[in-house]
Each structure stands twice: as structure tokens, then as C-alpha cells.
Structure 1
Amino acid sequence: MNPLDAAYMVVAAATAPGWARKARGDWPERLGVRLAEIKPKPAKPRIMLHGVSLGEVNALRTLVPMLAERADVVVSATTDTGLARAHSLFDSVASVVRMPMDFSWGVERFLNEVRPDVVSLVELELWPNLIAACKRRGIPVAVINGRLSARSFDGYSRGRALVRGMFSSLALVAAQDEAYAERFRALGAGPVVVTGSMKWDAANLAHDPVAAASLAEAMGIDRDKPLIVAGSTGPGEEELLHEACPAGVQLLCAPRRPERFDGAALAMGTCVRRSSGERQPGATRFLLDTIGELRSAYELADLVVVGRSFGDLYGSDPIEPVALGRATVIGPSVGDFASIVSTLEQAGGLARSTRRSLGSDLERLIRDDRARSLLAERGLACVQSQRGASGRHAAMLMGLAKLSTRRRPVYGG
């Protein structure tokens, strides 16, 4: 045990009342006591890609198949939702494992088992024990799809003397844009290059009208009446949308977190809940309280509102509805997705709104077919024009892997 492990244990004990209430299993794997089995390392380079949760794993959907043509790929995730998504996307082309918590004993066992030639972290997710262990073993660590929000940068800057060594240990940072790149450089990272965001590549442009029609039928959504779909909503937004929704227009809300489903239903008044399996004749309010169906709901929408952007949170990713060719509105709080929102907005492919103006903005757009069509067309064109970051990341990671295999990283066990 090192001093950092002791600090982690103190924090874990102090926060136990919060995390102990959450339904989490597989603690031996989370703690690195037991590891998922992985196939023996082949002759070709092994590249490990780590995406902490669902969003980061989804961003890999184009990169993993690209790399799998030339390397042995291991995809790791931390959360249950991220791990499940990784299995569903990549089991046929890569090994999928859970990354243990950043205790030194778990990290060491994990690296001994996986034996990567390169470790690549999606967006950020820097853990000191992992970085230090890789450095000792001569395993290069890269950040791809690098994103460092102003909020995160301020937090790291307060402990700059402590984190500078960790950032300077990175072999490469591939940042989404120049603003993020400058923040990485200011914290001591280098080399840092701008490659764009893989989320543009990961956007699925294909439609599934059968699944969408099935959802509409199951919930009793009237396909002849306009529908606003609000995805990934946060606290207070269901009530806001319920009040702002124009008369005669249907509203479907999909809360981001399952623990909010019951509260969201209360905020919307009388509503049809997807989980109930029931329909209500003439209903105009719908709650998508299931996982994995938001894409189908977006396909049904005449207008999409992106949640977690009208309160004190930091936004949600607007790419999915835009890539489906849906006119999309987002609120003012978008700190975690500022670059993507700015790119879409500059292209005329995303509408901005506020809590005060939301009602009038929805009324205007839902009544103006031409304005919605133009917004959707420009958004989709923007998504298509931004693609290509995954290929750039693949080339850089293969270059690191070739250098690493020549130096022969050191593994235990």
C-alpha cells in the first residue's frame, strides 16, 4: 500500500453513506481482487482503450474496428452501463474488461493480466496509480478525444504542483479542439495535438423506422400530431418542459438517470410511462423510463430538446438527434460540450434557448416547418463534415504501439 492508497481509503470511508446505497455488484473485480479472463497476448501489438462510462465507450464505436484490423484491442470501462455497452458493441472484435479502482494492488494485477503495449484514455480519466505503474513499466499512456472543461481545468490548476508530473508523463494528448489543447499544455502535458472529436464519427446516421413505430404503438403516441422529445433531462427540466410545451403538442421526456424516473413522472402530471406497458387514449405526456430506447424516440420527434442544459448541470451531447436529422434545441448550460455545441451553432445546425424563452422558441419552431427543416439539414451537414478523428487517432496509436513493442514494456506475473 502506498500513501495514495491510504488517501483513497480515507475518502472511501468518508463517503461510504453515499456510495453504499447504490446498487453495485462485482466488488472483487472493481477492487482488482478478481479480474476478467483475457486471451493470451498475440504477436501483434495490444492496444488498450479505456472509456469510463457510456458516453466515452460510445465514442469508440468507429475507432475499435479500425484498430482491430491491425492490433489486438482491449476495451475497458469502469461503470456497469459502460461495461455493458462495451460488450454489446465490441465483443466480436475486442476483449472487454472492467478497469479496477485506482488502488495500486489492483492496477498492478490488471496490467499484469492485460499486458498492453499502449494505454489510451478516452477524454481524460487520469488516475495517478495507473499512470505511475505504466510509466515504471515503459507503457506509453495517451489521451484521445481529449476534453478538459474549464471547470476541470480550474480544479486541476489548484493542485498544479501535484498533478504536473502526471500530465507530463503522458506520451501524447489528442485534444478535440485548440481550447482544450491549451489547457492540457498549461498543466504540463506534451506533445498535444488537435484531432477533432470522435463523437462525430460515432454518430449513427442510420434510421430504424420499425423500432420507432413499435415504440409509438406501445406508448400510444399519435403519429399525426407533433411531438417534442426531450432527451437526458435533469432535475427541474420535466416541469419546465411540461409548462413550456405548446398547446396541442405531445411531449416525451427521457430522464438521464433512472433514479429520477418517479420524480419526473410526478412533474409531468398525468403521463404514460413506458415501463407500465399501458396506453392512455388521448394522452399528450409520455415518460421514457427505460434504457436503450431514446434513439427510437428521437426518430419519432418533430423537435428535440437536449436536457441537462437548463439548470445547474453542464449539458448533454446533442450529436445523436442532430445526426438523425432532427431539429434540435439546447439550453445555456453546456460547459461539458461547449466545443460541439459551438461547432453546430456556428453551422446553423443547433438552436439555443433559455428557461425564459423556451416556451416561445418551441412554439415558433413547432409551427414553422421550414425553419425546422433548415435547422435539421444544416445540423446533419455539420455532423458529416466533422467526421475523421477516429482515423487520426488510429494512426497515432499504431505509431505509439510500434515504438512500445520495440522497447518491450515490463510486466510482472
Structure 2
Amino acid sequence: MRYLYTLLMYLATPLIVLRLLTRGMRYGNYHQRWPERFGIFKAPDLRGSIWVHAVSVGEVNAAEPLIKALRQDYPNAPLVVTTVTPTGSARVQQLFGNSVFHVYLPYDLPFSVQRFLRQTRPRLALIVETEIWPNLYFGCYRRGIPLMIVNARLSGRSLRGYAPMRALLRSALRCVRQIAAQSRTDAARYRLLGADPAQVTVSGNLKFDMPVPEGAPEAGEAFRQQWGRLRPVWIAASTHEGEELAVLEAHLEVLKRLPDALLLIAPRHPERFRLVEHAVRSLGFSMTMRSTDRIPGESHQVFLIDTMGELMPFFAAADVAFVGGSLVPIGGHNVLEPAALSRPVLVGPHTFNFEEITLALIRGGGAKRVLLSEALGGAVLDLLQDGTRCKHMGRQARIVFDSERGAVGRVMGLIDRMLQE
């Protein structure tokens, strides 16, 4: 199965190169880093490094408290952080600067994997969440590099999608020394996929241990002072195609009852910024953008956050937070960011990427599920008009967030034992 998989990967290489060309047009300096995708890059002496792979922005954010703990406990070990997406790369730079060595993860071709491992020479590999690359896993196994999946999650949808490759993935997972799952459900799914039950443990979700960025609450308060302290404000964060129109229609409904209300909208992907701007203007809203005016004025009805990595201060500035990727079958995004700032959370019906966290917030009274996009405006309006309920939900969201903390300590215990072995 692995030989067949590798043959298919080689056959797909022309398509991979075409994808690189397409992405290079979208991201300015991306062309300069193409060789990294094939394991070709200049690196300092990284012998004995600890390597953390986080595919994109969400995984980088989840790994932040773990990477900081690794820097503190193993100050002499070089830290290598890989991502797949340019936005993930930008987030690594924003969070850690030059204190870690960042490179793109190579494509899962044997020669690319071998070059990467020769360059980085890790003594431990930590894969965040759900990245299973057979040649990479076998490459680590052959070199005696202990491999651990941390914050491991596996949705029912992904488990079903992996069915045709289950034999191959079972072999790859047997190369893994430890799987630290987010929940009992995730642990059970990894076992169903073929992981050795003795290697699977439940450590909790690293995202509960993420720090609230220093100054975020104060920045949020400063924003409120500038656009009107008493204005009702809600945020639609990490939205996708098929959601922005529903969000804007919901805001039209809100404005009928609260004409001074402000919507902060943050599309998930930068390539959608311009499309969302056109949609907002076509519906006749008075709007401005983060990249131009920085802060909305009292006359603006919509503020487009067309920058990356700035959500937390805007969550702090909002009264209510809707988390996107949930009105469409994307699976939802991180509901913990607004919860950490004591903000009530609204989500759509599709939250399979964060199902247990979302359910915990709903059961704890800190979140509400909106089953239909047409009901979003009413749900937002109910909270904006009922300040007591809004604050109560926010407090409950923070209580749930605090009660689940501690995953970093549990994962670090597993890492310590593995390195001692």
C-alpha cells in the first residue's frame, strides 16, 4: 500500500508544482520558498532539535502554549516549527520571531522527507492535531526519531474519509510512540483507525491553555472608546464563503432594532477580503476596513478586519461573538478565543471540528447553537438587547474555559518521559 501511495504521490508531482505556481501568484514572497516543499533549505546547526508541526493558523495558535513550555523547559534544544500554509507561516513569525526555526513541511515524497530530516535532525517530533503522512512517519521510524501526535483530534467525517486508506494509515500510526488525544471520543477514533491502544491517552485540549494576548482586553476597551462606548457590537469571526451573506443579512435585521449597531467581520482567508468588501458595499452598508482606517467611526455600520492575527482585541471589543465555519459544513473554528475573554458565543449547526468543546460551552451556558442561517440575526439581537443575559453567558463561557485548562502540563509530562527514555 505504501509503495502504491508513493507512486501516486510521484505521479501527482506535476499537479503539486502547478499548485505552487498558483499560490505564488497569491502570496508575494512564496516563490522564494518553493524549494522548502522538497526539503531544500539552508538551516543552522539543528542537531538535537525538537520539531513541532502545525499545519495552519489554528494549529499554530493551539501549539503556542506548548512551544512556550518547550522553550522554557528545554532552552538549549533548537526548536523547529513547520507549517503547510503561508498564513500559518506568518503566524509563527508573529508569535515567535527568530526564537524558532521555521520551514515549510516538505511534500510526502521519500527524497523530500529524507532531506528534511537530515537538515533538522530532530530528537523528537510533535505533530499537532491530525496530520498523518505515511512517508514522513516511516522516515522518522527508520531514523529512530520518537514521534508523538499532540492535541490529537479526529472527526467522524475524517474517520469515514480515511476508510479507503485504513491499512496504510494503520501502518503509519504504528510508527507513532504516543498519541495525546483531546478527548475520549478522539482517542476512540484513533484506535478505530488502527493506533495501538496502549499508545493512546487523553490529555485534553491545548487550546484551553492558550494565553490571552497581553494587552488584548485593554486594546478592546480602547476600540470601544473610539467608536462609541455604548454601541452594541458583534463580531463574525473566521467566516467562509456561504456565510458572509448570511452574516450581513443578520446585521440588516439587527440594524432595524438597533440602528447604531456595529458589525466586525473577519473572513478566514485573506483571498476573501476583497470579495467580502464588495458584498458589504453592494448591500449599502456604511463601512471601513482595518487596512485603511484602522478603527471604525461612529457612522460606520460594518468594519472589515482584513488583516491576520488580530482577532483577540476585537473579540474583547465585541459584546457577542459568532464563530464561522459553522453555518456551512466546514466544521467550525476555535470557540475558545471569545470564551477566554468572557464573550457569549454563537455557532451554526456544523461544529464537528470542535464538537466536544462546543458542546461543553453550550451545556455550561456560555454558547448557543443557531440551526439556520436565517435565525442568526434574531439570536444576535436577543443578546444585544439583553445585557444581563449577555454578560451571564460570557461569564459562563469563561468558567468552562478555566475548568478545562491543564493540557500543556499533561503533554509536557509525556514529552519529558519520552525524552528520558
TM-score, normalised to structure 2, is 0.87
CA spacing shift, 1:207–1:91, aligned 2, 3 Å: closer
- What displacement does 1:265 show? 1.8
Instruction: Give the match's secondary structure for 1:304.
Output: strand
| Structural RMSD (CA) | 2.3
**Are residues 1:293 and 2:294 paired?**
no
State the Cα deviation string for residues 232-258 of structure 1 (Å, max 9, x = none): 111132221222221222112111111
State the Cα deviation string for residues 167-200 of structure 1 (Å, max 9, x = none): 1221111100011111100111121111100010
Instruction: Give the match's secondary structure for 2:82.
Output: strand
- What displacement does 1:93 show? 5.0
**Aligned pairs (5 A) from 1:167-206:** 167-190=173-196, 191-204=199-212, 206=214
Aligned pair partner of 1:131 in 129, 137, 162 = 137
After TM superposition, the structure 1 stretch with the greater mean CA deviation from structure 2, 48-57 or 266-275, is 266-275
State the Cα deviation string for residues 115-139 of structure 1 (Å, max 9, x = none): 2122111102111111111111121
The answer as to whether partners of 1:143 and 1:173 remain within 8 angstroms in 2 is: yes
**Aligned pairs (5 A) from 1:176-255:** 176-190=182-196, 191-204=199-212, 206-209=214-217, 211-212=219-220, 221-245=227-251, 246-247=254-255, 248=259, 249-255=261-267
- What displacement does 1:378 show? 0.6
CA spacing shift, 1:206–1:281, aligned 2, 3 Å: closer
* Paired letter, 1:128: P
Query: Quick one: distance in 1 between partners of 2:363 and 2:51?
Result: 35
**Are residues 1:315 and 2:316 paired?**
no
- What displacement does 1:207 show? 4.4
The answer as to whether partners of 2:361 and 2:367 remain within 8 angstroms in 1 is: yes
After TM superposition, the structure 1 stretch with the greater mean CA deviation from structure 2, 167-176 or 87-96, is 87-96
**Are residues 1:350 and 2:373 paired?**
no
The answer as to whether partners of 1:298 and 1:326 remain within 8 angstroms in 2 is: yes
Query: Quick one: distance in 1 between partners of 2:311 and 2:49?
Result: 34
* Paired letter, 2:276: A
The answer as to whether partners of 2:213 and 2:312 remain within 8 angstroms in 1 is: no
- What displacement does 1:99 show? 2.4
Query: Quick one: distance in 1 between partners of 2:217 and 2:204?
Result: 31
**Aligned pairs (5 A) from 1:356-375:** 356-375=374-393
After TM superposition, the structure 1 stretch with the greater mean CA deviation from structure 2, 20-29 or 65-74, is 65-74
- What displacement does 1:96 show? 3.4
Aligned pair partner of 2:54 in 51, 55, 61 = 51
Percentage identity across paired residues of the two chains: 34
- What displacement does 1:12 show? 3.7
- What displacement does 1:385 show? 1.0
Query: Quick one: distance in 1 between partners of 2:303 and 2:53?
Result: 36
Query: Quick one: distance in 1 between partners of 2:126 and 2:18?
Result: 33
CA spacing shift, 1:48–1:280, aligned 2, 3 Å: closer
**Aligned pairs (5 A) from 1:262-341:** 262-268=274-280, 269=283, 270=285, 271-277=287-293, 282-341=299-358
After TM superposition, the structure 1 stretch with the greater mean CA deviation from structure 2, 64-73 or 142-151, is 64-73
The answer as to whether partners of 2:20 and 2:34 remain within 8 angstroms in 1 is: no
Aligned pair partner of 1:260 in 254, 263, 272 = 272
* Paired letter, 2:14: A
The answer as to whether partners of 1:250 and 1:284 remain within 8 angstroms in 2 is: yes
After TM superposition, the structure 1 stretch with the greater mean CA deviation from structure 2, 297-306 or 4-13, is 4-13
* Paired letter, 2:106: P
State the Cα deviation string for residues 326-347 of structure 1 (Å, max 9, x = none): 1221111111111211121121
Instruction: Give the match's secondary structure for 1:231.
Output: strand
Q: Which has the higher helix share?
A: 2
**Aligned pairs (5 A) from 1:63-102:** 63-71=66-74, 72=77, 73-91=79-97, 93-102=99-108
Query: Quick one: distance in 1 between partners of 2:22 and 2:310?
Result: 27
Structure 1: state its 5+ residue gaps: 404-413
Query: Quick one: distance in 2 between partners of 1:15 and 1:97?
Result: 18
Query: Quick one: distance in 2 between partners of 1:209 and 1:388?
Result: 23
**Are residues 1:21 and 2:30 paired?**
no
Partner of 2:8: 7
The answer as to whether partners of 2:46 and 2:121 remain within 8 angstroms in 1 is: no
The answer as to whether partners of 1:63 and 1:390 remain within 8 angstroms in 2 is: yes
The answer as to whether partners of 2:132 and 2:169 remain within 8 angstroms in 1 is: no
**Aligned pairs (5 A) from 1:97-116:** 97-116=103-122
Query: Quick one: distance in 2 between partners of 1:272 and 1:68?
Result: 40
The answer as to whether partners of 1:207 and 1:324 remain within 8 angstroms in 2 is: no
- What displacement does 1:92 show? 6.2
Aligned pair partner of 1:156 in 152, 155, 162 = 162
TM-score, normalised to structure 1, is 0.89
Alignment size in residue pairs: 397
CA spacing shift, 1:300–1:119, aligned 2, 3 Å: same
Partner of 1:32: 39
Structure 2: state its 5+ residue gaps: 25-29
Query: Quick one: distance in 2 between partners of 1:64 and 1:17?
Result: 33
After TM superposition, the structure 1 stretch with the greater mean CA deviation from structure 2, 386-395 or 232-241, is 232-241
**Are residues 1:401 and 2:419 paired?**
yes
Instruction: Give the match's secondary structure for 1:286.
Output: strand
* Paired letter, 1:52: V
CA spacing shift, 1:257–1:10, aligned 2, 3 Å: same
**Are residues 1:389 and 2:407 paired?**
yes
The answer as to whether partners of 1:169 and 1:189 remain within 8 angstroms in 2 is: no
* Paired letter, 2:408: S
- What displacement does 1:350 show? 1.1
- What displacement does 1:5 show? 4.3
Partner of 2:397: 379
After TM superposition, the structure 1 stretch with the greater mean CA deviation from structure 2, 263-272 or 186-195, is 263-272
